[in-house]
Structure 1
Amino acid sequence: MEGFTQTLGAPALLAIGAAAVTLLLVLIIALRLHAFVALILVSLLTAFATGLPTGSIVDVLVSGFGTTLGSVALLVGLGAMLGRLIETSGGARTLAESLIARFGERRAPLALGVASLLFGFPIFFDAGLIVMLPVVFAVARRLNQPVLRYGLPAAGAFSVMHVFVPPHPGAVAAADLLGAEIATLIGVGLLVALPTWFLAGYLFGLWAGRRFPLPVPELLSGGPLVSEEPRRPPSAGTVIALLLLPLVLIFGNTGLSALVTAGAVSGENAAVQLIRLLGNTPVALLFSVLVTAAVLGAFRGVDRVTIEKLLDSALGPVASVILITGAGGMFGAVLRASGIGDAVAASLENLGIPVILAAFLIAAVLRIAQGSATVALLTAAGLVQPAVAAAGYAGTDLAAVVLAAAAGSVVVSHVNDSGFWLVGRLMNLDLPTTFKTWTVMETLIGVIGFALAWLVFTLV
């Protein structure tokens, strides 16, 4: 921060940082204070404790909050809208049934997992799971197979996409804190997410289905949570095209930017500028939402009032996620402005811990302690940000550090994680079985994802 010189030594700053994280955990876990409020309070107290000028504290808090929301809120809100339109049109069911028909009954778990991976791009974990589980249960019942054989590959697919691939808020916010390019993060994220899902979600799900041959629960089996069956659900090809549209636009922007940098095309060309504008991530998602609303709504006879209500209903569930993400950015801004991040970076350097490993370990410890993957990821990203900046990481290296922190934020899902209870209750698992299946799978996702991220960091 301009005009501020930190007079506290590294031990004092590290102690304040440790106390801040501990207080955050106590407030969230023991006192059950909402994470949004807890992050703001701890950010304020940390700023005071580290000696930031009183007149500048609010500016630091608001700047950190606003900077994070400036990129995150647009992506998360528009991504939620896109997912809601596809969900309510019947597209999820259509795509899943089409994949099963193509893959065959023996490969039904693979088909459901692939469908979940596709829908996991725009749809959040909770919503995607609830959308897909009626299909999962119907297939398992029709084939007379254990529910976990189909349920875990689907749940694991949504989990890896939510953890590793934008526009999901954790990856987007961490990328914003560390300065990673979204398009690069999408590419590297998919490179990590897909093999991680195959090993930790699909293969483990097949093993768990044999090890725990549990019956299909009644809940969601016939889709009772779906109030009205879509009259004319879209074709699988239409849904796939709509899901691919934002990716094509984003990667078009990336490719043209590389060509402009290389001098192969002129950046002054009007067509190039337009394509690059459409490929900017918020604009790409906005364009995709408009196209999806037209294709799945207006062109299919859905009135404008219904479309507006559908889009509005997508924002409520993500409001808390957006605000917590912004507050996490605020906490990270205080850690940077106060010099705590620099002290952590120096300590990690002295201990000889690589930055990418530190990002994973910090996120993993926070995840185990307080349950929120978002809080764990953002706190870890804020703590390693000075070390990342000092090392000058860029491109795939920077994306790999983001993914390492994301991997740490998903390990050891247990009773303090809402996803633990959601999966266990929807699949009618008792507590020990949930630990033996869901918790193990999430830990495998984290460990394998980190190993692949480190491999990318080392080789690419």
Structure 2
Amino acid sequence: MPLFIVACGILALLLLIMYFKLNTFISLIIVSFGVALALGMPLGEIVKSIEAGLGGTLGHLALIFGLGAMLGKLIADAGGAQRIAITLIEKFGEKKIQWAIVVASFIIGIALFFEVGLVLLIPIVFAISKQLRVSILYLGIPMVAALSVTHGFLPPHPGPTVIAGEFGANIGEVLLYGFIIAIPTVILAGPVFTKIAKKIVPDSFNKTGNIASLGEQKVFKLEDTPSFGISVFTAMLPVILMSIATIITLVQNTMGIDDSKTFEIIRFVGDASTSMLLSLLVAVYTMGIARNIPIKTVMDSCTTAITHIGMMLLIIGGGGAFKQVLINGGVGDYVAELFKDTTFSPILLAWIIAAILRISLGSATVAALTTAGLVIPLLGQTDVNLALVVLATGAGSLIASHVNDAGFWMFKEYFGLSMKETFATWTLLETIISVAGLGFILLLSLFV
């Protein structure tokens, strides 16, 4: 049975990564070859499928992902992220400190990838915790909730961006609906969940944590950083451009307005790749040239950003290769046949498959890509909103982060928690994001 072969492939992937300690990319390619052979694919088609999957996935993603990494790095290196965090904390005041952390992490989380945002914000959270004499976990939970939600639901992050490309969904719609879902999800998983976690594991809120492993952090004097307004504008510019284009296109389609050169230009500027390029050029000026930083220093930041994401791009490409093998090997068609006469929602199915794979594999991006290989053949049989299927896949791929996910160990070590405390805080928080996200997606599906 095709599904039995897929299960064996996933088990082999787990063994290669966790037991034999092989690199994730190498493991994915080995398993792709193995599953292709087991599915009985013609030998001449196997390498072509793997190359097509890897190239097709990276062809769509590399430009957005690369430009996004550079944009985030420029904002971080110029002190823009620090300015956003500190200004919001001062504005909200001591009593609403959690909400300041949520808003700051959300804005920074849009511009920076999860791990980068975490490394950047944790020293700030530790400093505020010491200054206000509040628990680091009291501030840390809202911070990681906002970073995780933006990572799972909002382009240009790799998960939602690559899945939108695989499903053929409008990336602007994914962004717009992602925002609608992200805001209540962050509130539930952040400030609301903190109160619950305090009752479940009260001792964890007394831990002092340890960020020595982060090394010496670059701290700016506030007067040496860009202004708050320009920092937020630079971080949010790709979101603004994509959202404007999506809203105008939705209004045009709803009101039946004839197409014109103006609408064509708006769609061009609002395309994810164009938006990211324009935003990067603005960042080169606002975070560099306008502050008299030499262009060589600005370009060095861009180069560093790319070197840091090289392996991540290969892993995503490896996930794309595995996904293509599942499609070309007939597994997706087999799943489509199983659900042919059912009323089962593709949104729910995508979430369930992504959740099972996430728990098994650890990597949210690999889980989401593998889900695409199983769900794509189903989408032709239904008129479901593709943007919502993208978001459901993203939500499923966040569930129950545990010992096979790097995020679990980062959270545990930085906040000085025991295994039990990490499961009761981090793992539960990720599950709340996943389940609440699904709930809001299903609710939204009634209206769009």
- Assess same fold via TM > 0.5: yes
- CA deviations on 1:332-375 (whole Å, 9 max, x unpaired) are 11211221101112224467643222211211112112211111
Match of 1:236 in 2: 228
Match of 2:301 in 1: 310
- Paired with 2:101 and 2:219, the residues of 1 have a C-alpha distance of 22
Change (3 A) 1:41 1:351: farther
TM-score, normalisation: structure 2: 0.93
Match of 2:444 in 1: 456
Match of 1:177 in 2: 166
Match of 2:184 in 1: 195
TM-score, normalisation: structure 1: 0.90
- CA deviations on 1:56-114 (whole Å, 9 max, x unpaired) are 32222212211111111111111111111111111122111211222121101110111
Q: Name the amino acid aligned to 2:229.
A: G
- Paired with 1:17 and 1:439, the residues of 2 have a C-alpha distance of 26
- CA deviations on 1:140-179 (whole Å, 9 max, x unpaired) are 1111111111111011110110011111111111112211
The one of 330, 336, 349 aligned to 2:321: 330
- Superposed counterparts of 1:258-297, under 5 Å: 258=250, 264=257, 266-267=259-260, 269=261, 271-297=262-288
Q: Name the amino acid aligned to 2:415.
A: M
Match of 2:394 in 1: 406
2:135 maps to 1:142? no
| Alpha-carbon shift at residue 459 of structure 1 (Å) | 3.6
Match of 1:75 in 2: 64
- CA deviations on 1:263-288 (whole Å, 9 max, x unpaired) are 63543x2x544333222111110110
Change (3 A) 1:138 1:266: same
| Alpha-carbon shift at residue 233 of structure 1 (Å) | 0.2
2:40 maps to 1:51? yes
Q: Name the amino acid aligned to 1:281.
A: A
| Alpha-carbon shift at residue 429 of structure 1 (Å) | 1.6
- Paired with 2:287 and 2:420, the residues of 1 have a C-alpha distance of 42
Structure 2 contact 210–415 (Cα < 8 Å) conserved: no
Q: Secondary structure at the match of 2:445?
A: helix
Structure 1 contact 170–325 (Cα < 8 Å) conserved: no
Structure 1 contact 148–209 (Cα < 8 Å) conserved: no
- Superposed counterparts of 1:337-416, under 5 Å: 337-349=328-340, 353-393=344-384, 397-416=385-404
Structure 1 contact 169–322 (Cα < 8 Å) conserved: no
The one of 401, 407, 414 aligned to 1:419: 407
Match of 2:418 in 1: 430
- CA deviations on 1:96-143 (whole Å, 9 max, x unpaired) are 121122212110111011100011112011110111111111111111
Q: Name the amino acid aligned to 1:286.
A: L
Structure 1 contact 85–292 (Cα < 8 Å) conserved: yes
| Alpha-carbon shift at residue 291 of structure 1 (Å) | 0.6
Q: Name the amino acid aligned to 1:52.
A: M
Q: Secondary structure at the match of 1:391?
A: coil
Match of 1:42 in 2: 31
| Alpha-carbon shift at residue 206 of structure 1 (Å) | 4.1
- Paired with 1:114 and 1:73, the residues of 2 have a C-alpha distance of 28
- Paired with 2:37 and 2:143, the residues of 1 have a C-alpha distance of 46
The one of 251, 262, 286 aligned to 2:243: 251
- Paired with 1:225 and 1:290, the residues of 2 have a C-alpha distance of 29
- Paired with 1:18 and 1:32, the residues of 2 have a C-alpha distance of 20
Structure 1 contact 136–151 (Cα < 8 Å) conserved: yes
- Paired with 2:415 and 2:7, the residues of 1 have a C-alpha distance of 38
- Paired with 1:275 and 1:226, the residues of 2 have a C-alpha distance of 40
Match of 1:3 in 2: none
- Paired with 1:95 and 1:209, the residues of 2 have a C-alpha distance of 28
Change (3 A) 1:219 1:56: closer
| Alpha-carbon shift at residue 244 of structure 1 (Å) | 2.4
- Paired with 2:317 and 2:329, the residues of 1 have a C-alpha distance of 18
2:312 maps to 1:321? yes
- Paired with 2:416 and 2:37, the residues of 1 have a C-alpha distance of 47
Structure 2 contact 146–186 (Cα < 8 Å) conserved: yes
- Paired with 1:255 and 1:188, the residues of 2 have a C-alpha distance of 11
Q: Secondary structure at the match of 1:145?
A: coil
Structure 1 contact 137–220 (Cα < 8 Å) conserved: no
- Paired with 2:193 and 2:117, the residues of 1 have a C-alpha distance of 20
Structure 2 contact 189–433 (Cα < 8 Å) conserved: yes
Structure 2 contact 28–319 (Cα < 8 Å) conserved: yes
- Paired with 1:18 and 1:217, the residues of 2 have a C-alpha distance of 39
- Paired with 1:109 and 1:14, the residues of 2 have a C-alpha distance of 45
Match of 1:4 in 2: none
Q: Secondary structure at the match of 1:117?
A: helix
| Alpha-carbon shift at residue 32 of structure 1 (Å) | 2.3
Match of 1:64 in 2: 53
- Paired with 1:452 and 1:418, the residues of 2 have a C-alpha distance of 27
Task: Could you tell me which runs of 5 or more consecutive residues in structure 1 were left unpaired when the two chains were aligned.
Answer: 1-11
Structure 2 contact 346–379 (Cα < 8 Å) conserved: yes
Match of 1:6 in 2: none
- Paired with 1:111 and 1:322, the residues of 2 have a C-alpha distance of 33
